Structure 1
Amino acid sequence: MGRVAYARIGPNEDLVQGVEKFCLSLGFRHAFVRGALGSLVDACLYTAQGGYRRIEGPAVEIVSLAGEVRAQPDGSLRASLSGVVADPAGQVHGGPFVPGANAICMTFEVTLEEWLPEPALARLNGVSV
C-alpha cells in the first residue's frame, strides 16, 4: 500500500468524477476508498438489469461507500464506486453509482488509500525488479 489521502468534494461536483479528479491531482494511479461521509442532491445507481434507478432528494445520504480507482490503458483513471444511500423518507437503496449523475449536495469527504502494484511497491522500498 502507498499513501493515504483525505479529500473534500464540493457542492454540485459529481461523486465519481470528483474521486477521479482527486486521484489525478495526487498522482494516485490506483486507489481504494477507505471511508466516506456526505450527501447527494439526487442519487443515480445502476440496476442488476443493466438500467439505472434515480433516487430523488434533496439530500440523499450516503450510508456506505466502497470502491476503487484504476488507471486505464490511455492514462486516464476510472473510479468504480458502489454504495448504499438513504432517501429523504428513510428508504435505503444500493448499487454502483452512475458516473456523471451523482452531484454532491453540500460537501462530501472521502478517504483514499493508494494501491501500488508490486513493481512500484518494490521501487518505493528500494528493491530493484
Structure 2
Amino acid sequence: MTNQTPTPQSPGQIITTESGRMGRVAYARIAPNEDLVQGVEKMCLAEGFQNAFVRGGLGSLIDASLGGRDGGYQQVSGPAVEVVSIAGEVRSGEDGTLMASLAGIVADPEGNIHGGPFLPGWNPVCMTFEVTLEEWLPDTPDAT
C-alpha cells in the first residue's frame, strides 16, 4: 500500500514516503553528443521502466550545466568535464511522460569541483557515458 502522507520538516517543505520494491536493473551507454538527462529518460523508455533510480554512472560531458540554489545555473566549460558522482531518479507523470531528476559532482579540465542538478538539454555527453538504472515499482493503492 502506498503511504504518501505529507510530513512537514520545516516551513514550506513537505516530504512524502512511498512503499514499493526494486525491479530490474539496466546497464546502458549514452552516445556522444546526446544529452545526459534526456539519454537517461530514453533508456527508461527503451527498457519499459516507468520509475527508476540512477545507481551510478561513468563518463564525461563536453560541457556541464548545473542548477544553483538561487534558481540560476553554472556553466562548467570543457572539453571533457568528468562526472565524479551522479544520483537521481526518473518518475512517470500522470500523462506517462518520463522526467529525470539528476544531480552530481563534476570536475572541470583544471580539476575544479562543481556540483548541483544537471539541467535537461544542456549536458552533452563527450565520448560515451555508462549508466546503471534500477527499476522502482511503487505499490498500488488497491494491491493486497
What is the distance in 2 between the residues matched to 1:18 and 1:89?
27
**CA-atom RMSD in angstroms:** 1.4
Aligned AA for 2:134? Answer: E
- Is 1:108–2:133 an aligned residue pair? no
What is the distance in 1 between the residues matched to 2:128 and 2:28?
10
**Which consecutive aligned stretches of 4+ in structure 1 deviate over 2 angstroms post-superposition?**
none
Q: Name the SS for the 1:39 alignment partner.
A: strand
In structure 2, the residue matched to 1:50 is 71
What is the distance in 2 between the residues matched to 1:74 and 1:16?
19
1:3-58 CA distance string (max 9 Å, x none): 00001000000000000000011110000011100000000000010011100000
- For structure 1, the residue ranges without an aligned partner over 5 or more in a row are 123-127
What is the distance in 1 between the residues matched to 2:59 and 2:27?
13
In structure 2, the residue matched to 1:4 is 25
Normalising by structure 1, report the TM-score.
0.92
Matches within 5 A, 1:53-92: 53-92=74-113
Q: Which has the higher strand share?
A: 2
Aligned residues: 123
1:64-105 CA distance string (max 9 Å, x none): 000000001111100000000000000000000000000000
Q: Which has the higher helix share?
A: 1
- For structure 2, the residue ranges without an aligned partner over 5 or more in a row are 1-21
Identity %: 68
Normalising by structure 2, report the TM-score.
0.83
> Between Structure 1 and Structure 2, whose CA radius of gyration is higher?
2
